[in-house]
Amino acid sequence: MLVSDVMEIAKVSSLHNLAIAKNDKALIKFIYLGVSELYRRFNLSIKVEPININPDLALYELKSKDVSLLLNLYNSKSQELRQTDVLGGDYDYKIINYKSFMIKYPKNDLVFAIYKATPPKLEHEYDEIELPDAMIDALLTYVAYMGHSTINKDNINESSAYLKRFDEACMELEMQGYRIPLSNESLDLRAKGYI
């Protein structure tokens, strides 16, 4: 579905009496925020970035611009590297922040970083929204929530009602199996065909 399709539906339904319906740039930003929230809740984009490890360098940062959260590292033999969040103990790497990590004993190897990715940017009406069709209703409800909560601050009840409907739509989608688990089995490199 295109951004223009979602804008058209939002303008004639939940936002028809708000000034935001006439502000296309702001509406596109609300749509992107909704898509981002759905990507975050349902782990809709899991990607991999190969990284060449050098014995002289211990600290690495993913170069992809769409990194939302570094999840796991695998070596060139598809073995998951051991992670720790505290110094000390037996580990292979330590996560520094959402896109950086430190290798404890770096050696020449190719490491595969599995990460949660952000959705493609939405900047124009003709941009494609990369969501399952079943999530469009939840997206429209989120756009309505944003429109009513930021523009119509006097009517908090209506804003809260849209937020509640969005949460309910997300729970229903989760029960239908749209949430991708972030367990090690679902991120296995061989199963995903990365190696």
**Tokens describing residue 33:** 């925020």
- pTM comes to 0.82
CA 7, chain centre distance (Å)? 21
Instruction: Sort residue 60 into left (φ over 0), alpha (ψ -120 to 50) or beta.
Output: beta
Domain that holds residue 94: 46-117
Is 126 contained in some domain?
Answer: yes
Name the percent of the chain in helix, strand, coil, to the closest 5.
40, 20, 40
Q: Is residue 110 domain-shared with residue 16, that is, in the same domain?
A: no
Q: Is residue 75 domain-shared with residue 103, that is, in the same domain?
A: yes
In this prediction, the residues of the chain whose per-residue pLDDT falls under 50 are 185, 190-191, 194-195
Q: What is the DSSP letter of 2?
A: B
Q: Is residue 58 domain-shared with residue 113, that is, in the same domain?
A: yes
Q: Is residue 54 domain-shared with residue 140, that is, in the same domain?
A: no
Report the pLDDT value the prediction gives residue 140, as an integer from 0 to 100: 94
Q: Is residue 79 domain-shared with residue 107, that is, in the same domain?
A: yes
Report the pLDDT value the prediction gives residue 154, as an integer from 0 to 100: 58
The count of domains in the chain is 2
Q: Is residue 50 domain-shared with residue 10, that is, in the same domain?
A: no
Is 54 contained in some domain?
Answer: yes
Per-residue pLDDT reduced to its tens digit, 115-166: 999 999 999 999 999 999 999 999 999 999 988 887 655 566 778 889 999 9
Is 140 contained in some domain?
Answer: yes
Cα separation, 145 vs 140, whole angstroms: 9
Cα separation, 28 vs 146, whole angstroms: 12
Q: Is residue 85 domain-shared with residue 38, that is, in the same domain?
A: no
DSSP secondary structure letters along 112-181: EEEEEEPPPP--STTPBP-S-GGGHHHHHHHHHHHHHHHH-TT-HHHHHHHHHHHHHHHHHHHHTT-SPP
Amino acid at 64: S
